[in-house]
């Protein structure tokens, strides 16, 4: 079965021009094993959202595959926390292990905030549940209003719930309690409401196994100018500073390629080779655990720009485990260094082969 493939020009983190070949293959997840899926997912060309009508406030369900370079492999798990065979639970510890990458998040049934005369704010016991979506909309975060009427955002997760500032609300029972928690940074009656917005860094950490968004902190801090355009951008600022003293001494930020790492914390930062053991806990309605190994199937890639086909070394960009559709997709990159866009305009041919 053929690979879904494409080539795109760009630059590596040092600004050296490359042409990257991307290859994607999709597998069906069966008990204890994988097999090639008759449904081969195409390369994702642009972000897709859980609620397309409200993309600014929605979970990302697919991030673009068309990236020239990622520093390390992203592992993303889509789906819900599930109790096996329809049993009910009050909370579940959902775990993901893919080789050296490991993460656990705790999913709770719906809870409320109550105000007690002697105890202050308390969280009610969770309601029993069978499934709980794992997106960031159910994790700690969101926007709220301060006591002076200013709307503020929790930078690590603007689309979540539970973020509140003291004095910005009247009825504690109307406060939303997140369903997903980091076990090492739980939501408590003492931290669900912050005394001041400036304390946001001490709030509970958002927890999910899915895609982050590029406007999440700290991901957005990695934005900047691509290395190959940095010198020109710096010259432009220097020229403009002659007429605008406010720009004098301004340093143009260089883009950090970690901005392309879309997986949740704990599920990126290592380079996988594609044959790692996978263990999933409480992510399947039929079984408490799901185990298999990544297939270890590397694409044979080559690129010919007029001086003969050059074999490319495949590097694993992305692993997406979709437990709703029981599909695993893997995206690989192979890169060819060349002389740049001017040379590309003169090459006699550009022929890609992936098999």
Q: List the Cα angle 81/86/90 in 5-degree steps.
A: 55
User: CA 232, CA 245: separation in Å to the nearest integer?
Assistant: 19
Average pLDDT over residues 98-108: 98
DSSP state of 127: P
In this prediction the pTM is 0.94
8 A C-beta contact, residue 43 and residue 28: no
Instruction: Quote the pLDDT of residue 69.
Output: 97
Instruction: Quote the pLDDT of residue 221.
Output: 96
Instruction: Quote the pLDDT of residue 142.
Output: 96
Instruction: Quote the pLDDT of residue 224.
Output: 92
Copy the structure tokens of residue 98.
């893919």
What rounded mean pLDDT belongs to the chain? Answer: 94
Instruction: Quote the pLDDT of residue 241.
Output: 84
For the cut 70, the answer to whether the pLDDT of residue 354 exceeds it is yes
Higher-confidence position of 268 and 230 = 268
Copy the structure tokens of residue 17.
């021009």
How many CB atoms lie under 10 A from the CB of residue 258?
16
Length of the chain: 355
Percent of the chain topping pLDDT 90: 80
For the cut 70, the answer to whether the pLDDT of residue 117 exceeds it is no
Give me the phi and psi of 199, to 5 degrees please: -90, 10
Instruction: Quote the pLDDT of residue 242.
Output: 85
Instruction: Quote the pLDDT of residue 238.
Output: 86
- Nearest partner of 153 among 144, 161, 162, judged by Cα: 144
For the cut 90, the answer to whether the pLDDT of residue 123 exceeds it is yes
Which residues are registered as beta bridge partners of 310?
303
Between the CA of residue 212 and those of 6, 35, 262, what are the distances in Å? Answer: 25, 28, 5
Q: List the Cα angle 308/310/312 in 5-degree steps.
A: 165
Average pLDDT over residues 178-203: 94
Which residues are registered as beta bridge partners of 80?
133
For the cut 80, the answer to whether the pLDDT of residue 110 exceeds it is yes
Average pLDDT over residues 64-72: 98
Percent of the chain topping pLDDT 70: 99
Instruction: Quote the pLDDT of residue 212.
Output: 98
Please give the helix or strand (H or E) that residue 321 lies within, else none.
Answer: strand 315-322
Q: Which of 54-68, 149-163, 301-315, 334-348 has the lowest mean pLDDT?
A: 334-348
8 A C-beta contact, residue 17 and residue 337: yes
- Which pLDDT band, with edges at 50, 70 and 90, does 118 fall under? low
Copy the structure tokens of residue 208.
């999910």
8 A C-beta contact, residue 353 and residue 2: no
Sign of CA dihedral 267, 71, 229, 222: positive
8 A C-beta contact, residue 137 and residue 55: no
8 A C-beta contact, residue 161 and residue 138: yes
| 232-289 pLDDT per residue, tens | 888 898 888 888 888 888 888 999 999 999 999 999 999 999 999 999 999 999 999 9
Q: Which of 193-197, 205-209, 275-279, 340-344 has the lowest mean pLDDT?
A: 340-344
């Amino acid at each position: 079965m053929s690979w879904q493939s494409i080539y795109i020009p760009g630059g590596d983190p040092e600004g050296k021009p490359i042409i990257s070949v991307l290859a994607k293959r999709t597998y069906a997840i069966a008990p204890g094993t994988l097999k090639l899926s008759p449904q081969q997912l195409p390369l994702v060309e642009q972000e897709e959202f859980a609620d397309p009508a409200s993309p600014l406030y929605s979970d990302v369900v697919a991030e673009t595959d068309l990236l020239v370079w990622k520093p390390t492999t992203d592992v993303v798990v889509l789906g819900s926390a599930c109790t096996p065979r329809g049993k009910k639970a009050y909370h579940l510890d959902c775990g993901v292990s893919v080789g050296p990458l490991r993460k656990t998040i705790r999913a709770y049934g719906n809870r409320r905030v109550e105000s007690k005369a002697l105890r202050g704010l308390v969280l009610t016991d969770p309601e029993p549940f069978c499934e709980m979506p794992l997106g960031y909309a159910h994790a700690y975060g969101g926007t709220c209003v301060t006591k002076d009427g200013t709307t503020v955002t929790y930078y690590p997760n603007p689309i979540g719930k539970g973020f509140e500032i003291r004095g910005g609300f009247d009825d504690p029972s109307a406060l939303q309690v997140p369903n997903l928690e980091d076990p090492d940074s739980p939501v408590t009656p003492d931290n669900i409401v912050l005394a001041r917005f400036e304390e946001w860094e001490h709030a509970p950490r958002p927890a999910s196994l899915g895609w982050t968004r590029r406007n999440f902190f700290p991901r957005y801090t990695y934005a900047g100018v691509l290395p190959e355009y940095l010198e020109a951008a710096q010259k432009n600022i220097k020229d403009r500073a002659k007429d605008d003293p406010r720009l004098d001494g301004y340093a143009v930020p260089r883009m950090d390629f970690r901005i392309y790492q879309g997986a949740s914390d704990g599920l990126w930062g290592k380079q996988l080779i594609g044959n790692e053991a996978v263990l999933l806990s409480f992510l399947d309605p039929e079984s408490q655990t799901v185990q298999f190994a990544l297939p270890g199937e590397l694409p044979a890639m080559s690129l010919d720009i007029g001086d003969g086909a050059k074999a490319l070394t495949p590097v694993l960009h992305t692993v997406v485990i979709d437990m709703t559709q029981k599909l695993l997709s893997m995206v690989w990159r192979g890169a060819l260094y060349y002389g740049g866009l001017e040379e590309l305009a003169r090459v006699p041919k550009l022929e890609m082969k992936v098999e």
